[in-house]
Structure 1
Amino acid sequence: MNDDAPAVRRRRGFELEAAILRATWEELGAVGYMNLTMEGVADRARTGKQVLYRRWRNRAELVLAAMRSRVVSIADDVPDTGELRGDVLAVLDRMARRYDDVGSDVVHGLMAEARDLDPVFFSIMTGVMETILRRAADRGEILSGAVGRRITTLPADLLRHEMLLTSAPVPESTLVEIVDDVFLPLVNSRAGRRR
């Protein structure tokens, strides 16, 4: 053994995970989502791919973890503008900006592999919208419980659909249409029927 050789320090815990997530993001930038492999990320992070598989079942979960390490989850900071319309527009705006920041390649890749993601991932926006609707009910804007699950998730679902159909940024006018022409009329009609 060569005493002059530098000792290799083994990374663990948070340090190792941060290195892997950073390497994932760098690898995405270098090769794109479709060419991203666990082996490529492991090489870039200077670790073994088995280390990755102990933490993430597949590349979709790994990429999602890398995204979450870079941005604050909408669920951790639900907008509160003081009105239902403003809150929903703020959520959609954050989703659209995140799409622009992450890139259509990554979003389209994740959606193509949606079946590989933990179902909890898909309930995040439901929880965000339920929080917004509960606040609106507390303010007296709508009746509590007047909106079912399908309408609750509709704004986020429509925006995801828009993002999947295009690689271009989603214009603000589209967000306004989703809220003003589709979501709010449905919410108001449901609330009117419950009275």
Structure 2
Amino acid sequence: MTETRRRGEALEAAIVDAVWAELAESGYAGLTVGAVAERARTSKAVLYRRWPGRAALVLAAMAHHAPTAEDVPDTGSLRGDLLALLRTIAAGASVRSIDALWGLLAETARDPELAALVREQLAELQRSGPVVAIMERAERRGEVDLARVSPRLLRLAPDLMRSELLVYGEITDAAIVEIVDDVVLPLVGV
């Protein structure tokens, strides 16, 4: 019996899972497109049709494993929702995440096209990611006026989380509470 050829979402899921597994096993520096193709049981040509190289594959895997708005419960308050999101992010942070972030930072410094791709993906998250959903829920509850929330402010909590991870190698619950209570909530007027 032959295996049915995977396409679309099934193939993409197999590929990003293979990238995630390769990152855990080999780290960013050791990750190769060939190893990902082999693990995903596909060809390098298939990977290169969708992604220009290793960094783009890693970005896709990180985006695939990032929390979505559906992953964050509605706790009934902006503070509770933000804490839940940041705790979800922290729970998913690992040595693999840190290694991948450092690898991507190094490559974006050398590759303007990759840097543009990273900015594009971050902008997409800013437009439709979990922080936006949380802020929209908070506005419906009357907690915040979205007209006063800038795009930079929507990025602030995830940006601070990345900084914690890169600089300190971990994200403590105390840091999460400080990011929400001392930085984000005062800036959105709560």
- The TM-score normalised by the length of structure 2 is 0.77
CA shift for structure 1 position 138: 1.6
CA shift for structure 1 position 47: 4.0
Judging changes above 3 Å, is the alpha-carbon distance between structure 1 residues 143 and 77 closer, same or farther for their aligned structure 2 residues? same
After superposition, residues 68-83 of structure 1 pair within 5 angstroms as: 71=65, 73-83=67-77
Gaps of 5+ in 2: 109-114
Q: Does structure 1 residue 121 correspond to structure 2 residue 121? A: yes
Which protein is richer in helix relative to its size?
A: 2
Once the two structures are superposed, residues 40-88 of structure 1 have per-residue CA deviations (whole angstroms, 9 ceiling, x without a partner) of 323444543212101222212222333455x464244344211011111
Q: Provide the rounded CA distance (Å) in 2 between the counterparts of 1:44 and 1:144.
A: 44
**Equivalent residue, structure 2, for 1:24:** 19
Q: Which of 93-102 and 9-18 deviates more?
A: 9-18
Q: Does structure 1 residue 103 correspond to structure 2 residue 105? A: no
The amino acid across from 1:28 in the alignment is L
Conserved in 2, the CA contact under 8 Å of 1:25 and 1:66? yes
CA RMSD of aligned residues (A): 2.9
Conserved in 2, the CA contact under 8 Å of 1:155 and 1:179? yes
The amino acid across from 1:143 in the alignment is D
Q: Provide the rounded CA distance (Å) in 2 between the counterparts of 1:12 and 1:118.
A: 27
| Structure of larger gyration radius | 1
Q: Provide the rounded CA distance (Å) in 2 between the counterparts of 1:129 and 1:48.
A: 36
Conserved in 2, the CA contact under 8 Å of 1:79 and 1:87? yes
Q: Say how many residue pairs are matched.
A: 181
Judging changes above 3 Å, is the alpha-carbon distance between structure 1 residues 126 and 101 closer, same or farther for their aligned structure 2 residues? farther
The amino acid across from 1:50 in the alignment is A
What percent of counterpart residues are identical? 45
Q: Provide the rounded CA distance (Å) in 2 between the counterparts of 1:29 and 1:138.
A: 40
- The TM-score normalised by the length of structure 1 is 0.75
Once the two structures are superposed, residues 136-188 of structure 1 have per-residue CA deviations (whole angstroms, 9 ceiling, x without a partner) of 12211123412222222211111111112122x21100011111111111222
